[in-house]
Amino acid sequence: MENNHQKIIFSGAQPTGSLTLGNYIGAIQNWKALEKDYQCLYSIVDLHSLTVRQDPKEFQKTCLSFLVQYLACGLDPEKNILFFQSHVPQHTELSWILNCYTYLGELNRMTQFKEKSQKNKDNINSGLYSYPVLQAADILLYQTNIVPVGEDQKQHLELCRDIALRFNQAHGDTFAIPEHRIPKVGARIMSLQEPDKKMSKSDDNVNGTIFLMDTEDIILKKMKRAVTDSENKVLYSDEQPGIKNLITIYSTVGNISIEEVVKKYDGKGYGAFKKELAEVIIEGLRPFKEKYQDYMNNMDFVETVYKRGAERATEIAERTMKEVRSKVGLLTK
C-alpha cells in the first residue's frame, strides 16, 4: 500500500450523462477534503454503467469526460488514485466470487434495483440485479475503511459489509469492514422541480437538475423556475422542502452556514434569493469550467492520469485477490 498507516477511502460514480450539482455537493466536494489525510481511490465505474444500454462511441466520450470533470473539480491525481474500473480486471474477478457469498433474498431487497427495473422494463438484466455485488468488490478489493457517498447508497454499503463479514467468518480476516460516510449537509440535494425527489443525472425533467457543465444562462433560468411555495419566506423547514433544498445548496456552494443564509435573506422574497443563489452557483463553478477546458485541451495528460491510476490500483487489488484466491481454494498458476 502507498502508505501503510493511512486509512483507505474508496468511492465511485457511474459515467452516465454529466455530473450534477448533487454529485458535486454530495460526493466530490467531500472527496477533495479527504485527500490530505487518507489514501483515496476514486473510480469511474464504467462496468456498472453497462447494466443500462450505452451507445459505445458516446460511452467512450462520456467516460473520458467524467475523468476530466473529476480533475476539473480539483481532485489531485498524485494524491488520489483516479482510474477506470474496467482497467482493473480484479473487480470483475472478485465480483464473481462475492456473488457466491450473496443471497438472492439480500439482492431482492435492494431499492435501487427495484427503481431501475421499473425504469428499464425491457431490459431487466442480471447485471442490474448483481450490481451491488460488483460495488462490494470495488470497495473490498482495496481494504477500504471509509466510503464517502450520498445517503442513497446506504443500503448497498450495508450489503457490502454483510458480504465482507460473511466471507471473513468463513475464511478468516480477509477484508477490512468499510464504514459509510455521509456528508452532514448536502447528503441529498433534491430536484429543483420536485423537491421530494433526489437531483439526478437521469431525471427526465432537466429543469430539476443543475449540471456542472450548464451555461450561466441555463443556471439562471433553472434557478428562476425552481419550485418554492407560497410563503415567500426564506426559512429552513421541512414544510418548505423546495426552499430548504435551495438553502442547502446556497450553504454548501457558498460555504456559509444554513443560519447565515437564513439571516441574510430575512425579510427578502424568493426572487432576490433565487437570483443571488444562481450567482453563487455560477461563481462557485467558474474554476471548474476553466479547468475543464484546460484538461480537454491536454488529453495526453489525462491519459497518463488514468493509466497511472490503473497501475497503482492494480497493485493494491492484486494483493487482495491473491489472498482471496488462496482462501477459497483456487490453485495458483
Which residues of the chain form contacts with ligand AMP (CB under 6 A)?
A: 13-14, 22-23, 25-27, 149-150, 152-153, 187-189, 198-199, 201
DSSP, collapsed to helix, strand or coil, labels residue 150 as: coil
* Cα distance between residue 6 and residue 153, in whole Å: 24
Residue 10 touches which of ligand AMP, ligand TRP, none (Cβ within 5-8 Å per kind): ligand TRP
The smaller minimum CB distance to ligand TRP, of residues 182 and 234, is found at 182
Q: Report how far residue 37's alpha carbon sits from residue 298's, in angstroms, rounded to the nearest whole number.
A: 29
Q: Are strands 146-148 and 80-84 parallel, antiparallel or unpaired?
A: unpaired
Specify the residue, 42 or 273, whose C-beta has the smaller distance to ligand TRP: 42
- Nearest distance from C-beta of residue 284 to ligand TRP, angstroms: 22
Distance CA 186, CA 182 (A): 9
Query: Active site includes 198?
Result: yes
Q: Which does 145 bind (CB under 5 to 8 A by kind): ligand TRP, ligand AMP, none?
A: none
DSSP conformational letter for 27: I
Residue 277 Cβ vs ligand TRP, minimum distance, rounded to whole Å? 26
Closest distance to ligand AMP from the beta carbon of 150 (Å): 2
Q: Report the residue number, 227 or 328, with the smaller CB distance to ligand AMP.
A: 227
Phi/psi for 124 (5° steps) reads -90, 85
Among residues 135, 193, 228, 251, which is the contact residue for ligand TRP, using CB under 6 A? 135
Using an 8 Å Cβ cutoff, are 179 and 146 in contact?
yes
Residue 255 DSSP class? T
* Phi, psi (degrees; rounded to nearest 5) at 38: -135, 160
Smallest CA-to-CA distance from 206 within 217, 190, 222, 182 is with 222
- Least distance CB 61 / ligand AMP (angstroms): 17
48 binds, among ligand TRP, ligand AMP, none (CB under 5 to 8 A by kind): ligand TRP
Query: Which is closer to ligand AMP, CB of 73 or CB of 199?
Result: 199
Which H/E stretch holds residue 43? Answer: strand 39-44
The active-site residue out of 201, 221, 264, 291 is: 201
Cell numbers that stand for 126 in this block: 442480471
46 belongs to the binding site for ligand TRP (CB under 6 A) = no
Whole-angstrom CA distances from 169 to 163, 175, 320 are: 10, 10, 16
Residue 32 designated active-site = no
By rule CB under 6 A, what string of x and - marks binding of each residue 198-237 to ligand TRP?
----------------------------------------
Closest contact distance (angstroms) between CB of 76 and ligand AMP is: 19
Lookup: cell for 58: 458516446
Give the C-alpha separation, 331 to 329, whole Å: 6
333 annotated active-site = no
Measured from the CB atom, the residue of 110 and 247 that comes closer to ligand TRP is: 110
Residue 273 grid cell: 434569493
* Contacts to ligand TRP by CB under 6 A: 10-14, 45, 48, 135, 138-139, 147, 149, 153, 156
Residues belonging to the active site: 116, 198, 201
